[in-house]
Amino acid sequence: ETGVTQTPRHLVMGMTNKKSLKCEQHLGHNAMYWYKQSAKKPLELMFVYSLEERVENNSVPSRFSPECPNSSHLFLHLHTLQPEDSALYLCASSRQDGLGEQYFGPGTRLTVT
């Protein structure tokens, strides 16, 4: 069983579309994270959830809306995105927020047209 899974792996959407990215972890962790990885830039932390509560929101535009219904699942809802939002979106989890290593999913490659 893969530790952290993400779906879809690839997504192409228009600027007026609404879509969602899904992340699921099978590691029994209590913290989950969304990162954005753009070309030529370091990974950017977007959101942190600890025990299903959002504890970090790094000045992310409101067109990105996270949801954490339980400690195993994390969603990123997307609406009215811009072409510059095209990137690799990575989900990660850890035992606790700020404690120990994070394990990453394979990412969703998002292209906004």
Q: Summarize as ranges the residues that interact with another protein (CB under 8 A).
A: 33, 41-43, 45, 48, 50, 55-56, 88, 90, 92, 97-107, 109
CB of 80 to another protein, least distance (A): 26
DSSP type of residue 9: S
Alpha carbon separation from 19 to 14, 33, 80 (Å, rounded): 10, 18, 10
What CA–CA distance (Å, rounded) separates 108 from 22?
9
Q: Across the strands, what pairs with 1?
A: none
- The residue (of 79 and 106) whose beta carbon lies closer to another protein is 106
- The residue (of 80 and 106) whose beta carbon lies closer to another protein is 106
Q: Across the strands, what pairs with 110?
A: 11, 87
CB of 86 to another protein, least distance (A): 14
DSSP type of residue 80: S
